[in-house]
Amino acid sequence: MTDSAAMRELLGEEARETQALIDSLTSNIDDLSSAREGDNSDDEHDPEGSTLAFERSQADAVLIQSRDRLTQIAEALERLDDGTFGTCTSCGQAIPAVRLEVRPYTPMCVACAS
Ligand SMILES: [Zn+2]
């Protein structure tokens, strides 16, 4: 049996952390963008330029992941509301409590997620 109040708390915490990460990534990406704009040299022949491009693509990847996570958290909160939280959205089996403690936003059991 899952304690939904505690789970709601956990999800809220996770959402705040994820949002903070998104905010800091967004400002990093802005910094990287303006660093590149201030640099008139050709990226392909400039090691500095390609490092910035690499950092930017890394930050973009984490940003996309974090936005996905926020969506998963919102969906998990909806499942808490409609009483389906803790049930795998794929196979309908209960998701083990230990898994929910680590990833409260996960929609699927280990078998279905892998
Ligand atoms: Zn499953």
Torsion sign, CA atoms 51, 53, 57, 63: positive
What pLDDT band is residue 16 in, cutting at 50, 70 and 90?
very high
Report every protein residue that has its C-beta within 5 angstroms of ion ligand 1. Answer: 88, 90-91, 109, 112
pLDDT of residue 37: 73
pLDDT of 85 strictly over 60 = yes
From CA 56, how far away is CA 47, in angstroms rounded? 14
**Is 75 within a domain?**
yes
**Is 49 within a domain?**
yes
The number of beta carbons lying within 10 Å of the beta carbon of residue 36 is 16
Per-residue model confidence as pLDDT tens digits over 41-71: 555 566 677 888 898 999 999 999 999 999 9
pLDDT of residue 41: 57
pLDDT of residue 49: 77
The average pLDDT across 62-84 equals 96
CA of 82 to the centre of ligand 1 (A): 19
**Is 23 within a domain?**
yes
CA of 108 to the centre of ligand 1 (A): 5
**Is 100 within a domain?**
no
CA of 1 to the centre of ligand 1 (A): 17
Report the mean per-residue pLDDT for the chain.
89
The number of beta carbons lying within 10 Å of the beta carbon of residue 11 is 20
The average pLDDT across 4-22 equals 95
**Domain total in the chain:** 1
CA of 11 to the centre of ligand 1 (A): 20
Range of the domain at 51: 4-85
pLDDT of residue 3: 79
CB 51 within 8 A of CB 43: no
Q: Which residues pair with 87 in a beta bridge?
A: 94
**Is 96 within a domain?**
no
CA of 23 to the centre of ligand 1 (A): 33
pLDDT of 82 strictly over 50 = yes
Per-residue model confidence as pLDDT tens digits over 27-37: 998 988 887 77
CA of 75 to the centre of ligand 1 (A): 16
